[in-house]
Amino acid sequence: MEGTKANDGATGRVALVPTRYGPGVVGGSEAVCAEIALGLSSRGWDVEVLTTCAVDHFTWANALPEGASEENGLLVRRFPTVRDPSRVARRAQDSIEGDEVPSLDEQISWLGFQFRAPDLFHHLLQHSQEFDAVVFSPYLFWNTSVCLRAAPERSVVVPCLHDETYARLDVLRPVLSDPAAVWFLSEPEHELAHSLGDVSEHHVVTGAGVDVPSSYDPEGFRARHGIERPFVLYAGRREGGKGWHWLLDAYELAVKAGVELDLVTIGAGEVHVPAGLAGRVLDLGFVSAAERDDAFAAAAAYVQPSRMESFSRSVMEAWLAGTPVLATADGAVVAWHCKRSGGGLLFDGAEELVEQLLSLSRSPAEARSMAERGRSYVLAEYSWDVVLDRMETSLRKIAPTGSWAGS
């Protein structure tokens, strides 16, 4: 973890409240929270993590023991989840999945649809005043929407906001308007928040930090997995909301059009390869961070089909590895990054993605140039030193007390 820049003795106490935390946890907001915690700790802050016992974001089952433990030098307190959604809550969820906003009464019942963690809420009621700031993420789950009410005057929300039906629920409006501060990960996310309603007076686009690997081993990656042909990479959850099923259909069209690049995929979720793509799609499942970095470096390009992004860490990891990006034009955030950096191309539909894959194979020099621009962009905007400086500046403006508050 980078971010060890001295803070001139300006330290305080901060709690991070992600939905899940620890090895095996997959999720963008969870990764951001974990790295903020480590980054602030490396600068001398007294950091605690308050989270649930869950690991899997589908079941929210209590997989880890409750109570306090020390992990990566941080104090972590885990609280059990409770799942008992009512019929009204299920009906509300069905409406949301159908892109309809349920009634206010249904929304209130829905708040605990995924999970509740009553002991976490009670802990915050009793102990939130011991912290200079309490950072919640993401916006739509109970750990944020309900728990920030325990101490709104010292709460910070990292919403990881998407343009989706959840963002239009009345019961979630206070998540953006009531906290002491809101940290956005990109300008499009910031603009979306304002289009939805009131936003806390103190808000800032901090971005998210991305660790820079010290080295890459693309040849070793290819050898370890028996990869002989050039390939494009998809890294992330294999879910419809992330564009995974669309990508498989588009890639099948690309193979029929003569694209010679294979598709390698890493991440969580099941992969069912259509018969027409047998031998052209290699799924490696969940891999280590080092193996992930090597996968990015070995790829001819990284494909980001998801429009539901508030930052898109995988795009940054691709650029750092010297790999150009192909991203959906429907995703405001990834399109914003590609336009600002010049590090990628945008596709509007499957046919345009096929054209870009064919062009990529014919123009390796342009691909390298795009990747170089992308890497320079990440280093300038999203190193942890840059991002933590933004976050610490924000914390100094909102915290009422602390040995660092007046520094």
Long-range contact set of residues 359-367: C-beta below 8 Å, sequence gap at least 24: 360/261, 360/300, 360/301, 360/324, 360/326, 361/230, 361/259, 361/260, 361/261, 361/300, 367/300, 367/301, 367/324
Tell me whether the CATH fold assigned to 13-209+383-398 matches the one assigned to 218-381.
yes
Q: Domain extents for the chain?
A: 13-209+383-398, 218-381
Residue 5 has a CB neighbour count (10 Å cut-off) of 15
Residue appearing with tokens 């001819």:
300
Query: What's the pLDDT tens digit per position in 91-133?
Result: 999 999 999 999 999 999 999 999 999 999 999 999 999 999 9
The dotted CATH code for 13-209+383-398 is: 3.40.50.2000
The whole-number pLDDT of residue 362 equals 85
Find, among 51, 248, 220, 8, the residue nearest to 137 by Cα.
51
Query: Which pTM value belongs to this model?
Result: 0.84
The whole-number pLDDT of residue 1 equals 55
Q: Which fold has domain 218-381?
A: Rossmann fold (3.40.50)
The whole-number pLDDT of residue 58 equals 87
The whole-number pLDDT of residue 364 equals 87
pLDDT under 70: residue ranges of the chain:
1-10, 400-407
